[in-house]
Chains A and B, each alone.
Chain A
Amino acid sequence: MAASLTRFTRRRARNTAFVVGATLLLVAITHLAEATLHDIRFVTGWTLFGLIVGLALFDLRRRIAVLPLGSASDWEQVHIYGGWFAVVVFLTHTGAGLPDGPLEIALWIPFVAVTISGTVGIWLSRVLPKRMRDHGARELYDRIATRRAEIAAEAQALAISSARDTGSVTIADYYQKELSAYFQRPRNALAHLTGYQGHLRLQQQQIQSLHRYVDARGHKILNRLSELVETKDDLDYQFAAQSALRLWLFVHVPLAYGLLILIAVHAVLAHAFEVGPS
């Protein structure tokens, strides 16, 4: 049975087991502390701080490729599952309640934001690459603008040639009023990320409806324009997906560093205003 499981499945099971085991241990320690009237908030606090510092090291690993610091994928696994355990420690530390003071709110909000952005990031990283495969060839992010410009230039040339060769302005007019702007910049990012395809269907229907007004040469031009619209739509999908895969990091990483600073401040204040027997 175990042999039929993929390496990724086994890894997921092993890592989950680690987190569950660590959680159970933490719960047991907490109960034991409560039973013996010990305050373990300093323990959980420092554990959380250590965990978050450890998680932040992943970013450092990504920047230092010149040293043999282990594979980034192993680091990412530690980062993900360490992150889940950090959530457990956070809930233990805060008593799973809502914050009730300004500093607590200032800590609670970035922690939740980092957790959510990280979770969203994992989800995007697992889902979007597969979806991109259904939307044309994978284009390098830096080349998307160039490719879009090439498509736009071909579409424009087709529109101009239609007016010249067919003696009809139907296609040129449609291009000028509808398609020109469509080809100029990325479109429908939100629709792409939510999987909505209505905009493409509408555009294709409009192009299809023009067929009755043009001659045989016009049909060919419209067919090609339709292909270009689809290609551009795929390119827009690639752009939206790859942008999303980059943008979540711009939220997650700065917030995480900000959180680290706030936790340090919190630790200093907590110790400064510590009450009870030391």
Chain B
Amino acid sequence: MSAQTTAISRPRRWDNPFDPELSTVDVERILTAPVFRDLDPDRFPPGQSLPDIVRNDARINRYQRGDIVVLEGDYGNSVFVILSGAVNVLYGYLPEVGRPPPRARRPFWNALAQLWRNSRESETRTLSPSARALHMRADRGRAYLPDIERVIAEHSVTLLEHGDMFGEISALSRSPRTATVVADTDCELVELRWQGLRDLRARDPDLRERVDHLHRTRSLLAHLSESPLFAHLDEATIALVAQEIRFENHGTQELFPTGELPAESDGSLAGEPLIAEEGSLTDDLIMIRAGFARVTEHLDHGDRTVGYLKNNDVFGLEELVRQWRGNGSVPLRNSLRAIGYLDILRVPALVMERYVLPTMPEHLLPPATDADMRATPVWKRDDSATGIEQPLVDFLIDERIINGTQSMVIDLDRCTGCDDCVKACAATHDGNPRFVRQGPSHDDVMIANACMHCVDAVCLIGCPTGAIHRDLSSGDVHINDDTCIGCGTCSRSCPYGNIVMVEIADKAGTVITDRETGAAIRRATKCDLCAGQLGGPACQRACPNDALARLDMSNPGELVAWLRR
């Protein structure tokens, strides 16, 4: 009896298609559409055929003129291919409408009922055979731009038509949308989610090249339009600048040189490739397009970490400006190294001097460097860029904590170990805490083992079903328990070990097993920032000693303010 109630068929990738209503006719129509018709079906194995991938990971969305397809700043991981009609791409235009609604919060009494409804057993689930993931549809409950004529007249738009593809920047770089796309006419779009795009790219080199080319070209324009350094330039000049920019990729996909968290940092920067060396001539402005970079200065036999750069930061601007102002050749003051995988853009110094610097607003020009800085002992320096003391900067970068947008930071000088944070977490997660109050620490700062909701969330890459995903509006990383098939890919991908695979149980506490193999059914679990709960992360609210905070470590100012509280 017990075996019957606790054995199920192991969830598989194809259990929850992107659009359960997608018909065979639709699949055939997609396969004959541009982009898809160029794919070679023979490159796909029988168990993962091209029609299978399309059936599982694609859907057809229909829009009317003025409908917003994607909105700049939102998170999304789909690419779109235009089946019919046309769309307008708007850079830098942020309409007030169309934001995806924030995650629904549970009603007050529902929240209160958790006090007595939480399971006494760990990791219990109620499995319904009809349980399915709800994939939010961009074309239903759509937002509408009422004054599209005026918007098009007043803004620079790019028209995309039948067969064109868009959305690849967010899909490939796991970053927010860089532009708003609005239907120019009534149109039909194929939306292909990341899992499908990943598999198609992996099997078809031509598609990979095509998508990557689009990605490089468009993200360059998007990057330039986002950067304040180029905001004063007209379109024609930006196009000239864009032609001269070089792309470079550095480092490896692994955040840590060894592929895993270092047991102890020896201070060496081995495994962090040098991109620009201190003392060399300043030939380019380096713009960080994706990933993180370490800025160092040579000191005796080692290198002192001055700070770190992330997406949209630049390196070498101060030297370029001094050079342009007639100080002759100005060597680089610091070195730049790739932390993990790094995409950069190089804008040649000549281009900067000819097109960008002469008209750049004065407030964007970097101030002169503090001459007294180098007289301060290295162990006492507060880095001028980050404001964080030197050893802590080293720790944050060595441990790659800078990747976290919601890192759980604990002040060990105030933490009494009362575990109210852990209890609060358990209370809001059916009795199961989603973090461990332990982790790497430096001096009085500990980074607990809780999902950091990373800037570059590598856990998203390999998920076969899209169960682990970003919230469309906040960008927080969540796991859809209904579509998680327990493969453990995300858990293995997380460099910080913050995703835990658990064996799930029925309400009686009996482990649920696979009907065929008898193996336990597992799910990936992690901190979800108390999504849906009233009042935000319970851990932070529960700490009576002001010892715990969720901080964006990619923004040093947030940590500095907290440390100086």
Measuring CB to CB, which residues of chain A are less than 8 angstroms from any residue of chain B? 6-8, 62, 64-73, 75-76, 124-125, 128-130, 132-133, 137-138, 140-141, 242, 245-246
Beyond A65-B428, A72-B544, A138-B441, is A132–B412 a contact (Cβ under 8 Å)? Answer: yes
Assess the B412–A65 pair: CB atoms within 8 A.
Answer: no
Q: Identify A67's interface contact among B444, B446, B535, B536, CB under 8 A.
A: B535
Measured in the bound complex, the distance between the Cα atoms of B416 and A141 in whole Å is 11
Beyond A66-B112, A66-B115, A66-B427, is A73–B444 a contact (Cβ under 8 Å)? Answer: no
Judged by a CB distance under 8 angstroms, whether B533 is at the interface is yes
Beyond A129-B413, A133-B412, A141-B417, is A62–B544 a contact (Cβ under 8 Å)? Answer: yes
Given contacts A138-B412, A140-B417, 9 further A-B contacts (CB under 8 A): A6-B565, A8-B565, A64-B115, A65-B542, A73-B544, A129-B412, A132-B412, A140-B438, A246-B418
Assess the B546–A73 pair: CB atoms within 8 A.
Answer: yes
Q: Identify B543's interface contact among A67, A68, A72, A129, CB under 8 A.
A: A72
Assess the A245–B444 pair: CB atoms within 8 A.
Answer: no
CB neighbours of B413 from chain A (8 A): 129-130, 133
Measured in the bound complex, the distance between the Cα atoms of B111 and A130 in whole Å is 36
CB neighbours of A129 from chain B (8 A): 412-417, 547
Judged by a CB distance under 8 angstroms, whether B420 is at the interface is yes
Beyond A62-B542, A68-B535, A76-B545, is A125–B427 a contact (Cβ under 8 Å)? Answer: no
Assess the A138–B446 pair: CB atoms within 8 A.
Answer: yes
Nearest to A138 among chain B residues (CB) is: B412
For the complex of A and B, the 5 pairs showing the least CB-CB separation, nearest first, are A68-B535, A65-B424, A72-B544, A76-B544, A7-B565
Q: Point out which of A6, A128, A138, A140 has the most chain B C-beta atoms below 10 A from its C-beta.
A: A138
Nearest to A10 among chain B residues (CB) is: B565
Nearest to B534 among chain A residues (CB) is: A68
A251 shortest CB reach to chain B, Å: 15
B138 shortest CB reach to chain A, Å: 31
Q: Point out which of A68, A72, A75, A246 has the most chain B C-beta atoms below 10 A from its C-beta.
A: A72
B149 shortest CB reach to chain A, Å: 44
Beyond A8-B546, A138-B446, is A65–B416 a contact (Cβ under 8 Å)? Answer: no
Measured in the bound complex, the distance between the Cα atoms of B416 and A245 in whole Å is 7
A253 shortest CB reach to chain B, Å: 12
Assess the B427–A65 pair: CB atoms within 8 A.
Answer: yes
**B528-558 near A? 1/0 per residue, CB < 8 Å:** 0000011110101111111100000000000
**B513-538 near A? 1/0 per residue, CB < 8 Å:** 00000000000000000000111101
Beyond A62-B542, A67-B535, is A245–B111 a contact (Cβ under 8 Å)? Answer: no
Question: 24 pairs across A/B with beta carbons < 8 Å?
Answer: A8-B565, A62-B542, A64-B112, A65-B424, A65-B541, A66-B114, A66-B427, A66-B533, A66-B538, A67-B108, A67-B535, A68-B534, A68-B535, A68-B541, A72-B541, A75-B544, A125-B545, A129-B417, A132-B412, A133-B412, A133-B413, A133-B444, A138-B412, A140-B436
Q: Point out which of A8, A66, A75, A130 has the most chain B C-beta atoms below 10 A from its C-beta.
A: A66
Assess the B111–A66 pair: CB atoms within 8 A.
Answer: yes
CB neighbours of A73 from chain B (8 A): 543-546
B437 shortest CB reach to chain A, Å: 7
Judged by a CB distance under 8 angstroms, whether B423 is at the interface is yes
Beyond A67-B534, A129-B416, A245-B418, is A72–B111 a contact (Cβ under 8 Å)? Answer: no
**B425-439 near A? 1/0 per residue, CB < 8 Å:** 001100000001110
B560 shortest CB reach to chain A, Å: 12
CB neighbours of A137 from chain B (8 A): 441
CB neighbours of B424 from chain A (8 A): 65
A131 shortest CB reach to chain B, Å: 10
B439 shortest CB reach to chain A, Å: 10
Beyond A76-B544, A138-B446, is A128–B565 a contact (Cβ under 8 Å)? Answer: no
Nearest to A241 among chain B residues (CB) is: B417
Measured in the bound complex, the distance between the Cα atoms of B361 and A222 in whole Å is 68
Assess the B420–A125 pair: CB atoms within 8 A.
Answer: no
Within 8 A of A (CB), among B405-419: 412-419
Nearest to B420 among chain A residues (CB) is: A62
Judged by a CB distance under 8 angstroms, whether B564 is at the interface is yes
Nearest to B563 among chain A residues (CB) is: A6
Assess the A6–B438 pair: CB atoms within 8 A.
Answer: no
Nearest to A242 among chain B residues (CB) is: B417
Nearest to A72 among chain B residues (CB) is: B544
CB neighbours of A125 from chain B (8 A): 416, 545
Nearest to B565 among chain A residues (CB) is: A7
Q: Point out which of B416, B436, B437, B538 has the most chain A C-beta atoms below 10 A from its C-beta.
A: B416
CB neighbours of A70 from chain B (8 A): 541
CB neighbours of B535 from chain A (8 A): 67-69
Measured in the bound complex, the distance between the Cα atoms of B547 and A167 in whole Å is 53
B424 shortest CB reach to chain A, Å: 3
CB neighbours of B436 from chain A (8 A): 140
Nearest to A142 among chain B residues (CB) is: B419
CB neighbours of B112 from chain A (8 A): 64, 66-67
A235 shortest CB reach to chain B, Å: 14
Nearest to B415 among chain A residues (CB) is: A129
Measured in the bound complex, the distance between the Cα atoms of B561 and A6 in whole Å is 10
Measured in the bound complex, the distance between the Cα atoms of B534 and A138 in whole Å is 31
Q: Point out which of B419, B427, B540, B541 has the most chain A C-beta atoms below 10 A from its C-beta.
A: B541
Measured in the bound complex, the distance between the Cα atoms of B424 and A128 in whole Å is 23
Measured in the bound complex, the distance between the Cα atoms of B108 and A6 in whole Å is 36
Measured in the bound complex, the distance between the Cα atoms of B423 and A62 in whole Å is 9
Nearest to A124 among chain B residues (CB) is: B416
**B86-119 near A? 1/0 per residue, CB < 8 Å:** 0000000000000000000000100110110000
CB neighbours of B547 from chain A (8 A): 129
Beyond A72-B543, A73-B544, A133-B412, is A66–B428 a contact (Cβ under 8 Å)? Answer: yes
CB neighbours of A69 from chain B (8 A): 535
Nearest to A65 among chain B residues (CB) is: B424
B328 shortest CB reach to chain A, Å: 41
Within 8 A of A (CB), among B200-218: none
A20 shortest CB reach to chain B, Å: 23
Nearest to B538 among chain A residues (CB) is: A65
Measured in the bound complex, the distance between the Cα atoms of B86 and A89 in whole Å is 75
A51 shortest CB reach to chain B, Å: 19
CB neighbours of A138 from chain B (8 A): 412, 415, 417, 438, 441, 446
CB neighbours of A128 from chain B (8 A): 416
